[in-house]
Structures are given as C-alpha cells and as structure tokens.
Amino acid sequence: MFGLIRKALRPQLQRSPWLSRLFKPPQDPESTEPPHPSSEDANIANHSVPGGFHPVSLDDKFNSGKYTVLRKLGYGRFSTVWLARDSEAEKFVALKILRADCYDGKKDIFESEILSKITQQSEKSTHPGRRHVSSLLDTFKHEGPNGNHVCYVFDVLGHNLGHHTWQFERARIPFRSVKLITKQVLLALDFLHTECGVIHTDLQPSNMLLELENPEGAIKKYLYETSPRIHPKNGALLHEAISTSDIDTIKEPRIRLIDYGVWNLLEGRKPITISWKELLDGPPPLDRPEGMSDSEVSAYIDFLSNILVIDPSRRKTAAQLLQHEWLQNA
C-alpha cells in the first residue's frame, strides 16, 4: 500500500527532495518511538535574563488577583503557558505569558493583532471553522523583573494531536478520526483565510489540541489525582497536560488550532499561500490510515495529490478540499 501511494505521488516527490525524505518507506514499527521531549533547561535559564521570560511560581496572581497559577502547561521560544483559575468567571483558563522582548523590543511578533482579529471575527461569524480555532478570553500586561509582559487568556484544552498519534502502532490514528480531524483543520483554515485574512504558518500535530469533554470536571480530577511536575535537580516547575481520553474512544473528537506561528495579518488583500514544504515539520512517514477500506484508496491518493502541489497558484484552497469526495462522509 505504501508503495502504491508513493508511486502515485512520484511527480511531486521528484520536484521536492524534502518531500521525498518525508515519504520514505516506514521503519520497522518496533523501532518507532515517540520523540524525546525537549529540555526545559534553556527555558528555565532564560528566566533571569532582562527581556526574557517572566519567573512564575504556583499560586502567583496576575491581573490584579484575577488569575491564580495552578500548574505549568507548556513553553516555547517566546512564551510560557500556565493553568490558572479565573476568580471572577470561576473557571479554569490557560494563561500565556510572552517574553518581555516580544513587544516594544527586538522581536515584535504581532500575535496580539492576529488574536484580536480572530477573536473579533469569531464573535460575529457563523462560519463552522470558528469553532476550531483558539480565540482570546482576555489580554493584559504584567510588569515583572525582566520587563513588561503581554499576557493572553484562553480556554484550557487537552493533549495535542502529536501525543495521541503515539498511542497507536506506527503512530497511525484510526481512519474515522483522521477524516474527522482533517475536515476540522480545513474548516479552521478556511475560516482563517477567508474571514480573518490570516494564515497559520506552523501547522503541525503539536499545534492541534483536543477539546476537553468536560473541562471543569476533567481539570478538577487531574489536579486532585496528580502532583505538580518538578525538575529533579533545580526544583523548577515542568510542563504537563490535562489528561484526555484516547482519541479512538471519544465519540466526537474536536480539535482547535493554536500557536499560529509567524503571523501575517492581511488587510483587504487576498490571503498569502505558502508551500506544503513550509507547512510540514517532520510527521511520521505517510502510510495508509488504520481502518481504511480498499474502495477509498484511490480517493485518498487523489486528496493527498491535491494537497501536495508545490506551486501555491495551482494548489486547491481549503474550501475546495472540503468538497473532495474523500471527505464527504466525514
């Protein structure tokens, strides 16, 4: 099956050595292991740098005491993300704190402008894709020892899609879930492109998070049963994720796109398109989704062929891909 798919995509692979490496034959499943998590040491070290990350401890309060930090949820090149409790709304939220140099410094990343645009559009739109993007609940600034930090507040979400792939042999998510998630991603992209004038430049499984089925209940249960993760040597807080059920056991899994990457806010212009090479970042080798019937193989190959067109002017839009026969019963 893999050879058949590779043969069908041969023209695209010949034009792109990068894609050719991506679609190399899969390794022995016994040798396939999830990637080792990135070290947080560099992130921790940057806490003491002017213009860097804000040092955060459990029970710290933000925005005049409105938000209380409970756990660390994640970190990246420009920010850390924390589980917090909103005392006014009486709900759990995700608090994202940018490095002090992200604004009014050397690294203006325009994230506030993009998030504001998405949030404003989501509030007035009826596009179904709006339900599959992460929008703002609140934003404010926090003064700390390393500078002034822009902060964002979002809904709390569960594990990313990359985590779920490693629950299955050769990282293959069941076919039903693959179709459903593909459709949701395309709906989200169509909403971003056509109504927000925004492109997602870091589209990968780690930036696709599953919604929690019962957020308040799931988070309370997690906090009760799980102690904070602590660095064994320096005692720093390590990131964790609220537990979610395996994706194949969720009746109607729903994802949201987060962390839109290097932003492009397009005002009154046609959305910029980028090549597939720029969108991909090292997923597992292509293989037939678990549970796909033989009758769907040709439609699946055609769907992928339409996506893997290097020339943006010839590649189908998200809206056009949503009409493809392979997705009609998703």
Residue 183 to residue 190: CA distance in whole angstroms:
10
- The answer to whether the CB of 174 falls within 8 A of the CB of 248 is yes
**Among 120, 140, 163, residue whose Cα is nearest residue 34:** 163
CA 128, CA 131: separation in Å to the nearest integer?
A: 6
- One DSSP character per residue, 234-261 reads T--B---------GGG-SS--EEE----
**Two tokens at 17?**
């050595």
Residue 24 assigned as binding residue: no
Kindly give the residue spans of alpha helices, DSSP state H, lying in 131-250. Answer: 161-165, 175-191, 215-225
User: Is 228 in a helix, a strand, or coil?
Assistant: coil
Nearest-angstrom CA–CA distance, 262 and 200? 8
d(CA 4, CA 79): 43
Backbone angles phi, psi at 16, to 5 degrees: -140, 105
CA-to-CA distance for 230 and 25, rounded, in angstroms?
Answer: 39
The helix (H) or strand (E) run that includes residue 15 is helix 10-15
Could you say which of 86, 138, 155, 202 is catalytic?
202
Secondary structure (3-state) at 43: helix
Is residue 225 helix, strand or coil?
helix
Long-range contacts of 313-317 (CB under 8 A, 24+ apart): 313/273, 315/273, 315/276, 317/190, 317/193
The yes-or-no answer on residue 202 being catalytic is yes
Instruction: Report the binding-site residues for ATP.
Output: 96
Question: Which residues are the active-site residues?
Answer: 202
Instruction: Report the binding-site residues.
Output: 96
